[in-house]
Amino acid sequence: MSFTLHGLGVSGGIAIGRALLMSHATLEVSHLTVGPRMVDREIARFDQAVATVKSELAAMKESTEHAPAELSAFIDIHTMFLEDPELIDKPREIIRARRCNAEWALVQQMEQLVAQFEQFDDPYLRERKLDVRQVVERVIKELLGHPSRAAMKADKGLKEETLVVVAHDLSPADVISFKEHRFASFITDVGGATSHTAILARSMAIPSVVGLSNARSLIRDGEVLIIDGMRGVVIIDPDERVLEEYQLRKNQIELEKTKLKRLKNSKSQTIDGIDVALYANIELPVDTPEALEGGAEGIGLFRTEFLFLDRGDMPDEQEQYEAYKKVVKGMGGRPVTIRTFDLGNDKDLHPDSSVHDRVKTNPALGRRAIRLSLAEPQMFQTQLRAILRASKFGPIKLLIPMLAHAHEIDQTLAALEQAKSSLRGEKVAFDEDIQVGGMIEIPAAALAIGLFLRRLDFLSIGTNDLIQYTLAIDRSDEQVASLYDPLHPAVLMLLAHTISSAEKANVPVSVCGEMAGDPLLTRLFLGMGLRIFSMHPSQILKVKNRVLKANAGELAPTVRRMLRQEEPGKLREALEKLNA
């Protein structure tokens, strides 16, 4: 009988295939008592399993050098857990004290740790309980004698491309092996929009739905499934008509993807001959090949704070310099916009880091981004010197996040001058004329834009934060996610005002928030006068496709009229017409 499950679509596309149920090893563990003489053997078995999983992770890290940045970060987190005494020493103590089997001891300790993680207020830290479960799952599978890879082996006679993995949860390591195995899709019972698995699925473009609650218990091995990763829907045992309809949509999506690839080398220009620059947002140097592959003309936003995350120490000048140099060299002469670290909000420092305690209670409104940089001059100098040193290898632009005050720019420029003069003193080469730009992501900055236009070489609008601060919606709070509205008239007014003011002042302006990568908004932005977009690499060709079909001159008056509209319903209608 056909039925439908609803979850969270975390990665678009459609997949059709047969269900392959993944075992959930931690649920299979039984409690066994071992004799006194077997205790040491049980501990040795535990140590051996941990060592095997660690070396598997290390091998995986090596083989994924060009994989998305998140990937190696997850492997690092899992490896870190396998070095944590809480997860490694405690089970040994439990085996000895309770004379039990290694699997059971490990599951007991895992439950303890998961309970501790659940106490955290911070949603990111709370979600790390999933990492604990995932890494324990791997060790348990090793102990039970069926390592993860084996659990994913397809049945004889069925091609992997026709299989949909159904799991309670997947570890990032499992997702990596998807690359080798070419499964059609995966769906899981748990996981949210910000779970590691979801982020990974997106960056690997595997259609996927998470948070289905009980898919694993409702779906049987071999059942036909349709996965709609866009709408978060899973249809089990569909009838012929539904199957045909989805097959048709799937073919259309694939055709569009193939067609888009042909646009990679075509000039990004509107019908009326206006050049539109399409840049990539990246988080780590390993993202550079993906940016080039996506057809980026440069890097519009390098979120350098990712170099600082998930570690107890700070990257020193040399490490940062190497990272920036790698990106600049990788981009082969194309411009690279390096944003100074935006730490303190959702991207919190490791609790062991020396400045962690200086970031206070309401992080989004507190000492974040440039505020933290100016409060930590040493840390800021280290970064500025590293960026300047890398500027010798290609065109680098410096971007300052979260500006609200003119004096923040003045102080930043003074700090930059200090870094330059120290390098001059040391006779180290750098680009003397490095351009300095500012992120417009606080409504105050958008409204008093003149202050910024007079002091900066370029602007970049961070719509993710601009929406958060304009609408007073915490961008990481799921409970108010429905109120986070990029099309709110106030947001559109601020965007239009910033873009047209910059145009009048002859200061280049880009948009680098998520809105820039939404093809449904490309025509709206072009009509506002935007000529530089920066987005996730996977979106570039979709946006280029819109650019190529647009007439910017004709769009301008239509968009001006549209922006006079305040009623949300009418605005949406007008946007639909604009895209029709």
**Spatial distance between the Cα atoms of 507 and 509, rounded to a whole number of angstroms:** 6
Query: What are the start-end ranges of the E strands in 316-411?
Result: 336-339, 396-400
Beta-bridge partners for 15: 227
Considering 78, 100, 168, 196, which one is annotated as catalytic?
196
CA-CA distance, 153 to 405, in Å (whole number)?
58
Separation CA 423–CA 503 (nearest Å): 35
Q: Cβ neighbours of residue 216 under 8 Å, at least 6 residues apart?
A: 21, 22, 24, 166, 167, 168, 189
Task: Enumerate residues 414-443 that contact Mg ion by CB under 5 A.
Answer: 441
68 counts as binding Mg ion under rule CB under 5 A: no
**Active-site residue 512, yes or no?**
yes
Which does residue 70 touch among Mg ion, ligand PEP, none (CB within 5 to 8 A, set by kind)? Answer: none
Stretch that binds ligand PEP, among 153-161, 461-469, 493-501, 537-545 (CB under 6 A): 461-469
Per-residue interface string for the shown chain with ligand PEP, residues 339-358, x marking contact by CB under 6 A? ---x----------------
**Closer CB to Mg ion, residue 131 or residue 465?**
465
Q: Which of 465, 517, 524, 544 binds ligand PEP (CB under 6 A)?
A: 465
Which residues between 459 and 478 bind Mg ion (CB under 5 A)?
Answer: 462, 465
| Assigned token pair, 180 | 């080798």
Instruction: CB nearer to ligand PEP: give 109 or 281.
Output: 281
What minimum distance in Å lies between the beta carbon of 201 and ligand PEP?
20
Residue 325 partner contact from ligand PEP, Mg ion, none using kind-dependent CB cut-offs of 5 to 8 Å? none
Q: Lay out the site mask for ligand PEP across 273-302 (x = CB under 6 A, - = otherwise).
A: ----------------------------x-
CB count in 10 Å sphere of residue 506: 7
From 85-93, 98-106, 289-297, 458-466, span contacting Mg ion (CB under 5 A): 458-466
Q: Which is nearer to ligand PEP, 183 or 341 (CB)?
A: 341
If the CB atoms of residues 95 and 445 are measured against Mg ion, the closer one turns out to be 445
Is position 196 annotated as part of the catalytic site?
Answer: yes
The strand order across the sheet containing 208-210 reads 3-6, 233-236, 224-228, 14-21, 163-167, 185-188, 208-210, 8-11
Q: How many residues bind ligand PEP (CB under 6 A)?
A: 10
Beta carbon nearer to ligand PEP, 88 or 364: 364
Q: Which two tokens stand for residue 458?
A: 């370029």
Q: What sign has the CA pseudo-torsion 112, 116, 119, 120? A: negative
- Residue placing its CB nearer to ligand PEP in the complex, 232 or 294: 294
- Which residue number, 7 or 438, has a Cβ lying nearer to ligand PEP? 438
Of 191-199, 356-364, 444-452, 456-464, which segment contacts ligand PEP by CB under 6 A?
A: 456-464
Residue 307 sits in the site that holds ligand PEP (CB under 6 A): no
Q: Which two three-digit tokens encode residue 302?
A: 């390098």
Which positions ≥6 away from 140 have C-beta within 8 Å? 25, 26, 28, 29, 103, 106, 107
> Can you say whether residue 325 is alpha, beta or left, with left for phi > 0 and alpha for psi between -120 and 50 degrees?
alpha
How far apart are CB 70 and ligand PEP at their closest, in Å?
Answer: 14
Pick the catalytic residue from 168, 488, 512, 536.
512
Among residue numbers 491 through 530, which ones bind ligand PEP (CB under 6 A)? Answer: 512-513
Residue 212's Cβ-side half-sphere holds a number of Cα atoms within 13 Å equal to: 32
Contact 542, 514 (CB under 8 A): no
Identify what 512 binds: ligand PEP, Mg ion, none; CB under 5 to 8 Å per kind. Answer: ligand PEP
Mind giving me the DSSP string for 469-500?
HHHT--TT-GGGGGG--TT-HHHHHHHHHHHH
Residues that are catalytic: 196, 512
The footprint of Mg ion (CB under 5 A) covers 441, 462, 465
The footprint of ligand PEP (CB under 6 A) covers 301, 303, 342, 441, 462-465, 512-513
